[in-house]
Structures are given as structure tokens and as C-alpha cells.
Structure 1
Amino acid sequence: MPYAANRVDGLSSYFEDWGGEGSPILVYTGLGDPIEEAQENPLVGILAEDHRLIFADHRGQGRSDKPHGVNAYAMPTRVADAEAVLDEVGVERAHILGFSWGARLGFAIGEHSPERVLSLVLCGNQPYAWEQRWSFVAMLSDAFDVARDRGMAGFVDVIESTLGGVLGETVRRRLLANDPVAMGAAWRSALSEGAISSDLTAWRLPCLIYVADGEEMHANAQRAAAEIPTARFLALHGHTHLSAPYEVEQVLPAVRAVLDAAFTGG
């Protein structure tokens, strides 16, 4: 099985390398999503025509190791997971494509390991401290509190109750497959980590940051794009946080422009 060992703590990340002739893209999904979620994404399918796609499960979910301690999810350690995957497949530098939880990791890779990055394409997150006033932060915190006693079934119940609807069958099945202790530890670590970077103005990586126009992180994501000299911001009209990763028409031209900028210096 394709696993990469982290140089910091020896824990393993599961990955799949689709191969291909083009420049490599390392893809990370959202919180609680296995790599199959990204592999089924229509945007990813288009990019696979011209690029080498490498998919990795976050630590704590999918087929990667699932430590239960909060400290195991410190962001520099998670960045080392990504470095380990790139080392294992023999890739020195890659584009990073991150959705939601994966976008947060993408910001951290850009901060802690820019020499491994060709460009960043980041959907649905921001690099500053999490804000307690955001309703989704309260929702996830409540859900993980319930999951301590009732497992992921309790987590899903809180999400569905808060959102006012039943999640799709595939989404429910994938969420229920997670380890509630590992996932809760990852979330509590994220809440305590603060901002990813102290100086985004120093970044020189080609970067696209895009979010749904009505989501709570919109202003912070736009602020990050304004601070990074080489970043572009895109607000997706008619989308939510959950639907934004699947948009193609509004996103694809901007994604291709950023991928190309990695080689033109734009």
C-alpha cells in the first residue's frame, strides 16, 4: 500500500499517485473527506488530463494514521506529512490544490515549506486565526463535543440538525467512517493554532484563493489575497462552502492561469 512516513513522528500518510506527464499537483480534501472525494471532483478530473495528480489523506482521516493527541496535529507536523508524500513519489516541487481543510493545510505548506511549492490553489479557507463568531466554528465544536459520547453518528446528527437537512448518502457514509477522537483532536488543534503566517506580504508563490461569495470566511480570504503580492481572489456567485469545490466554469480559467504562472513567473 502507498504510505509515506513523517520525519517528525513516523506516522504514515496514505496517498495515491495517478501518474501523468504534466507538472504534479498534490491534492488535499476537506475535513472528514477521504481522497475519493477529491478524485470524484469534476475540476480535478479536468486537471488530470494535463497534470500528474497525487492525492493524500490528511492525518486523522481516510487511510492515514489517526493519532488521538491534540499535539499530533500541529500544523508544522501536518506540513511534514505533505513533504513525506512528495519525497515518497520523488517530486521536489508540486502545485498544491486544497479544498476547505486542505486549503488551510495549503496555506501552511506555503508558509513552512515554500521551496516545495510550484503554486497554491486554495478553495474555501483562510490563513488567519479561526473566529469564534463564525457559526460553522460553533457547529463543528458542538458536533465534536457530542461525538465524544455518541461517535460520528452524534457528529452527523448535530450537523444535520444545524443545517436543517439530511446530508447526502455518500457524505453521511464517509463522515461516519471517521474516528471521532482523532477528528476531534484535529479540530481542537486547529482552533488553538492561531494565524498560519505572520507576514503574508513576504510570499512570492503564485496563488489562487477562492470561496463562495456568501460564506463567513469570505472577507478573510479576500484579505489574504490582498496581502499576498502574487495572489488572485475569486468569489463564487451562487455557491455555499459545501458546493464551491465542485464549481468548474467560474474557476477553471483562473486555476489554469495560476498553474501556468508557476513557470512564467507571473
Structure 2
Amino acid sequence: MNLDAPPFSRFVHDGLELAYFDEGDPAGPPVLLIHGFASTASVNWVFPGWLKTLGEAGFRVIAIDNRGHGASDKPHDPAAYRVPLMAGDAVALLDHLGIPEAHVFGYSMGARIAAFTALLHPHRVRSVVFGGLGIGMVTGVGDWDPIADALLAPSLEAVTHERGRMFRAFADQTKSDRLALAACIRTSRDLLTAEDVARIDVPALIGVGTKDDIAGAPQPLAELMPHARALDIPGRDHMLAVGDKVFKRAVLDFYAEIGGD
């Protein structure tokens, strides 16, 4: 396997056409990958090597372009981006592929979607991996309204907010629909309560970079969950932790320990 983007297919759910890829070993245990805000399935999972890593380990590797992102439809209505709706897209993809249960692995916003998937559709989730989102899943991850403002600014040069500049530059790099992303960031930050998190009773791994100033620490989130463990990804920030070799090794070990099938 190389790091080129694989062919994408499409299906329709909730009136939206959504893009996905289905690669790896078709007979292997399915892993559903859910990318982060302003990213895509390719940017989050192919280019950092996750498709290669999981595929070579014998998994069936499925990844969705979330609504508003990548090759999927991009509504401009903020109401379209509530997290339970995006969790519904993930489950609808499993339905479309005839998969009763999968390991679900999300990064950043994708981790939040994965958590809602486990809560709202528990019988479809074999395990969860949350990357790039720790206790911020419960306590919040700061004021993101400046990110929406940055996405709507006339140019990157007009943005002074540091985190806003980071996400605006990323959106420009990925040639994203900035109106869709601005709508998404306003409504995709639904928080879970500690009681909600405690009800996620499947095996869980939570990995956060030690230099990540967005996610919140992984240990306090793991402590709320009955079968979770925390992983510090050394020396990595929010953008770089996703492809880290320590994270990849930990995920493979996690799947081997819990039984990947």
C-alpha cells in the first residue's frame, strides 16, 4: 500500500451525498475512521499512514468524509452539523456496507463523533479510539467562535487570532468550503457529561499529544470510563499527533489486546 488517496465511493443519508473509502482486507475486522474538523479522510488517515498501517495489520479500513468536508455534500446551515447527526452518518455508512459492528476511531472532532456514536448506537461499536481529544470532550476546548470568524475573513492576512490563523491556513491548504466549515464549527461542539462518558463501556484508548493545547488531558477522561486507558503522545501538538509512530503502535497493541475481530 502507498500513501496515495484510494478511490472514494458515495452513498446518500439524511438527504446528503457522503463520500467514503473502503480499503484493506475485506475479510478483516472493520475499523471506521472519522476525521477531524477542517480535515478529510485522506488528510487525516491516508497521508499520515493510517490506511497503510491498519491495512497491513489485516484490518478492513473504512473512512468517511464528514458532511461539510472533502468530497461530501457541504450544507451551509449550522443546524446540519450537530454531532448526533454526524454520528448518524457514520452508522448509516456501516448500514450501507452491511457491517453490524466496527471498531470506531476518531480524531479531534471525529473523536467527539465517535463518542456520540458509541452512546447513541452502542450495539454498533466494538471499541473506540479517541485521538486529539481528552477531557475537553466534557469540559470544552475553549472559545472557537474566532475560528468561524477566521474562516469567513476575506484573507488569511486579515486574521490575527493565533488559533484562527492555524485553522484558516489549514482550510486554505485543503481547499475547503469555508462557509460550510464556519457553519460546522458553530454547532459541532456538543459536550458530553461525565455521566455520558461513563456509559461508554466498550474498550477505549485515548491518545493526546503532550504539546496539544486544544484537546485537554487524556487521563481525566479515561478515569471517567470503565474500560479506558490514556496515552501521552510525546512531543506532539494537535496537528502532528495524528500520524505519530507512538500513537500507531499503541493503537495496534490496543486492538491486539482486545481482540481485533
How high is the TM-score relative to the length of structure 1? Answer: 0.82
User: Does 2:9 align with 1:2?
Assistant: yes
Q: What CA distance in whole angstroms lies between the structure 2 residues aligned with 1:61 and 1:163?
A: 19
List per-residue Cα deviations over 1:68-126 (Å, max 9, x = no partner): 11111112111110011111112111111212221121111111112111111111013
Cα 1:88–1:218 shift into 2, 3 Å: closer
Alignment correspondent of 2:159: 158
Structure 2: tracts of 5 or more residues without a match = 1-7
Q: Quick one: which of 26, 33, 54 aligns to 1:47?
A: 54
Which deviates more, 196-205 or 117-126?
Answer: 196-205
Shift of 1:255: 1.1
Kept in 2: contact 1:79–1:108 (CA 8 A): yes
Alignment correspondent of 1:130: 140
SS at match of 2:95: helix
Shift of 1:198: 3.4
Shift of 1:148: 2.8
Q: Quick one: which of 254, 258, 263 aligns to 2:259?
A: 263
Cα 1:263–1:245 shift into 2, 3 Å: same
User: Does 2:151 align with 1:147?
Assistant: yes
SS at match of 1:260: helix
Q: Quick one: which of 191, 195, 202 aligns to 1:205?
A: 202
**What does residue range 60-99 of structure 1 map to in structure 2 within 5 Å?**
60-99=68-107
Cα 1:261–1:213 shift into 2, 3 Å: same
Shift of 1:164: 11
Kept in 1: contact 2:108–2:215 (CA 8 A): no
Kept in 2: contact 1:5–1:12 (CA 8 A): yes
Shift of 1:180: 1.6
- Aligned length, in residue pairs: 248
Runs of 4+ in 1 over 6 A off after TM superposition: 163-167
| Partner amino acid, structure 2, of 1:121 | V
Structure 1: tracts of 5 or more residues without a match = none
What's the C-alpha RMSD, in Å, of the aligned pairs?
2.8
SS at match of 2:188: helix
Kept in 2: contact 1:206–1:261 (CA 8 A): no
Cα 1:264–1:78 shift into 2, 3 Å: closer
Cα 1:106–1:4 shift into 2, 3 Å: same
List per-residue Cα deviations over 1:181-207 (Å, max 9, x = no partner): 21111111024x232663322322111
List per-residue Cα deviations over 1:136-159 (Å, max 9, x = no partner): x45xx2232143352xx44x8638
**What does residue range 15-26 of structure 1 map to in structure 2 within 5 Å?**
15-20=20-25, 21-26=27-32
Q: What CA distance in whole angstroms lies between the structure 1 residues aligned with 2:49 and 2:191?
A: 33
User: Does 2:180 align with 1:182?
Assistant: yes
Shift of 1:163: 6.2
List per-residue Cα deviations over 1:214-240 (Å, max 9, x = no partner): 323554532111111111100111111
Identity rate, percent: 27
SS at match of 1:58: coil
| Partner amino acid, structure 1, of 2:63 | F
